[in-house]
């Protein structure tokens, strides 16, 4: 699946086109079975400000 998702290779990274199709089908099945977290209401969830502050601090640091 990693080869399929890699933008450098996608389906051309497989030796046989049938392997690429099999990987694509397997990936689609994985996505279809992925549990979806539903919220109790349709209201947007506010982002965690402490997480945003940490990310902004990290981005502001110079190496």
pLDDT tens track, the chain, 63 positions: 788 778 788 777 888 888 888 888 888 888 888 887 776 666 666 666 566 566 666 666 554
Range of the domain at 22: 1-6+15-34
Residue 21, in any domain of the structure: yes
Say what the pTM is: 0.48
Ramachandran bin of 6, using left for φ above 0, alpha for ψ from -120 to 50, beta for the remaining angles? beta
Q: Please check whether residue 43 lies inside any domain of the structure.
A: no
Please write down the HEC assignment for all residues of the chain: CHHHHCCCCHHHHCCCHHHHHHHHHHHHHHHHCCCCCCCCCCCCCCCCHHHHHHHHHHHHCCC
Question: What is the reported pLDDT for 45?
Answer: 63
Please tell me the predicted confidence (pLDDT) of residue 37: 75
Asked if residue 28 is part of any domain, the answer here is yes
């Amino acid at each position: 699946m990693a080869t399929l998702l890699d933008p450098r290779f996608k389906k051309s990274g497989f030796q046989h086109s049938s392997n690429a199709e099999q990987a694509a089908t397997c990936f689609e099945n994985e996505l279809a079975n992925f549990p979806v977290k539903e919220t109790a209401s349709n209201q947007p969830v506010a982002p965690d400000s402490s997480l945003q502050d940490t990310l902004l601090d990290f981005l502001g640091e110079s190496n």
